[in-house]
Amino acid sequence: MIHNKPLIFGALVTVLLTILAAFLPEHRSELITRMLIMALFATSINMQVGRAGMMPLGQAQFFGLGAYAFGLLCVKGGLPLSYSFLLALLISLVAIAIIGYLCLRGDSLTFALLHLAFNILLVTVAAKWISLTEGDQGFTKVPRLDLFPGNFGFYLFVLLVVLGCYILIWMIVNSPFGKVMQGLRENEERIRFLGIYSKRFQLVIFVFSSLFAAVAGILWAMMQKSVFITYMSLILSAEGLMMCLIGGMSSFFGPSIGAAIVVVVSTLASTYLEQWQGLLGLIIIVCVLGFRGGILGGKRGTMGL
């Protein structure tokens, strides 16, 4: 019974979004695609924050890493798209494993700060290694994987990839592994005294979560047909956490709702308001103080989503 509710919710939202994407004018339908990708990014963060009690302050580094790896492989490397996609994931995986291993050397505060530090480091590399990345200018002509033709076709492609990722994440958080993730969030020492090597367990969570962020980054590069330094900015890292906070970290779909709100507000408000990030801050304050645990909040996701 508990399981049906999110399933129905997910199906309804998918249908609704697809109708919107099909019938909205082009410059608006892209908004739907943005929402989907950011929702995946936010959900990847929440695997750590809401489920496992880890605080990845620099998640955009892996979003950006995916985007750069993919963009460079196909634009500068001239590789076919599907190879670029897979190879970008592989490169991300290696980097994620190394960064994760190093971030998990200390306690949870050390983890959060090292995570942020690696984000700063990667941004600096991307900005200064101009011969490779074009620095602050970024580079364009990143191709889309044209599984289906046209803009709506690209929406469908993104939808398929994001749905696939959601199904995987859903499996992970609802498996025995997912139970232990919750235990980790509640009491790491008890986890250790149950015979579990908690650092290694955290590393596995870290790899899953960061890989999904990399997938989101690759999709984003395709959508924008370009790669910019902002894809791994600290602001994006912070926005991702805000999405989780606004939507509710204790529920599966909360961060996605948060992502949709942030995307809509930032896109619409930025055309009218110069300081849209101020508005975003206001929304967070209202959500945190007004909803107690986000829009879909409640201590254990009272809405069951």
Site string for other proteins, 131-170 (x = CB under 8 A): ----------------------------------------
One-letter amino acid at 64 equals G
Minimum separation from the CB atom of position 198 to other proteins (A): 7
The number of residues in the chain equals 305
Minimum separation from the CB atom of position 98 to other proteins (A): 20
Residue 74 vs 191, nearer CB to other proteins: 191
Residue 120 vs 203, nearer CB to other proteins: 203
CB contact at 8 A, 199 and 52: no
Which uninterrupted H or E stretch holds 49?
Answer: none
Site for other proteins in 271-300 (CB under 8 A): 299-300
Residue 236 vs 244, nearer CB to other proteins: 244
By CB under 8 A, tell whether 59 contacts other proteins.
no
What tokens appear for 300 in the block?
Answer: 């254990």
Query: CB within 8 A of 245, min separation 6: which ones?
Result: 258, 284, 287, 288, 294
Site for other proteins in 166-195 (CB under 8 A): 171-172, 174-180, 182-183, 185-187, 189-195
Which uninterrupted H or E stretch holds 77?
Answer: none
Minimum separation from the CB atom of position 209 to other proteins (A): 13
CA distance 259 to 264: 8
Site for other proteins in 192-231 (CB under 8 A): 192-198, 201, 204
Query: CB within 8 A of 98, min separation 6: which ones?
Result: none
CA distance 110 to 120: 15
Minimum separation from the CB atom of position 299 to other proteins (A): 7
Total number of residues that touch other proteins (CB under 8 A): 30
Task: Count CB neighbours of 178 within 10 A.
Answer: 18
Q: Which residue has the tokens 């990722």?
A: 165
Interacting residue ranges for other proteins, rule: CB under 8 A: 2-3, 171-172, 174-180, 182-183, 185-187, 189-198, 201, 204, 299-300
